[in-house]
Amino acid sequence: MTAPLRILHLSDTHLTGDGRLHYGIVDNLAGLDRVLARAGGAEQVDVVVVSGDLSDDGSAASYRLLAGTLEPWAAQRGARIVYAMGNHDLPNGFEEVLGAREAVVDVRGFRVVTVDTTVPRAGYGRVGQERLERLRAVLASPAPHGSVMVLHHPPVPPTTGLFEPLRLVDPEPLLAMCDATDVRLILAGHFHHGLVTQAGERGIPVVVAPAVANTTDVLWPAPGERAVRGAGFAWVTLPASGPLRAHLIGAPSPDDGETVYELDADAIARIAADAGYPG
């Protein structure tokens, strides 16, 4: 009997090469250390997936810091690591340290496929025809136990107003292709809060991991936006057949819940103008 695929799903580590604090107050490397310490209680980890915004400054030094932290942890457990690009990541530093921006990894008959949804100098995401054709070729033949797709921008509507202009702008053709192939699970980040939902006509499970850097307050009243201190991760168990199980887990710190930033409607409009989808 094939053992299930056990996935530690991390996202939005937002590390910097010089170690400066995120928003001047949050030590993201310490947050990552807490996450890994909390996840260390798992009996078995097969793959560590990091779904984008690995870096905040795009520097090679930030990716070396991430790899130097994650790779020994994964090696001790015999786990593979899969990195995906996010809108804060920069291609040169990513590729210099972590390798190709898009990858296909086989783990015991489960195929893990990454998709680069980034748009240069933008916060929103796009798949586009060229990437879609590459994915179609990769997924043309089914894997023994199906495929897991990893991308930064979730192919589902955002929960809060800040991420509306920063969303994935062309999810429909991607999901149609997923419906027609062996994709069983989609892993994403970007929203900075945990979310488990479904997408596409087949109802493919979508798991958005909590961020390591901070947590979006999904109950903050619109049109404002708030993020608080707090780091977490998703723990996903995918059997060879049948339904998966996904858990969203926090890695507590005494200052959890303290405000990291608050944005009013004008501030959100400026972010949209600078980095949002112009269409």
The per-residue pLDDT for range 231-273, each reduced to its tens digit, is 999 999 999 999 999 999 999 999 999 999 999 999 999 999 9
Question: Mean pLDDT over residues 152-161, rounded?
Answer: 98
> Helices 60-76 and 91-98 sit at what angle, rounded to 10 degrees?
30
Question: Mean pLDDT over residues 130-152, rounded?
Answer: 97
**In the chain, which residue ranges form alpha helices assigned H by DSSP?**
28-39, 60-76, 91-98, 128-138, 171-179, 265-275
What is the C-alpha end-to-end distance of the chain, expressed in Å? 49
Cα gap 38→34, rounded to integer Å: 6
For residue range 179-216, list pLDDT tens digits in order: 999 999 999 999 999 999 999 999 999 999 999 999 99
Q: Are 151 and 117 in contact (CB under 8 A)?
A: yes
For residue range 63-78, list pLDDT tens digits in order: 999 999 999 999 999 9
* Domain boundary assignment for the chain: 5-275
Architecture of domain 5-275: 4-Layer Sandwich (3.60)
Question: Mean pLDDT over residues 121-136, rounded?
Answer: 97
In a 13 Å sphere around the CA of 177, the CA atoms on its Cβ side amount to 22
Q: Are 232 and 242 in contact (CB under 8 A)?
A: no
Q: Residue 43: pLDDT band by 50, 70, 90 thresholds?
A: confident
In the chain, the DSSP E strands lie at: 5-10, 47-51, 80-84, 104-107, 110-114, 147-150, 183-188, 195-199, 204-208, 215-216, 225-228, 232-238, 245-250, 259-263
What tokens were used for 227?
Answer: 């993020």
* The predicted structure's pLDDT at residue 52: 98
- In angstroms, the Cα distances linking 69 to 29, 36, 72, 133, 164 are 9, 9, 6, 34, 32
* The predicted structure's pLDDT at residue 279: 82
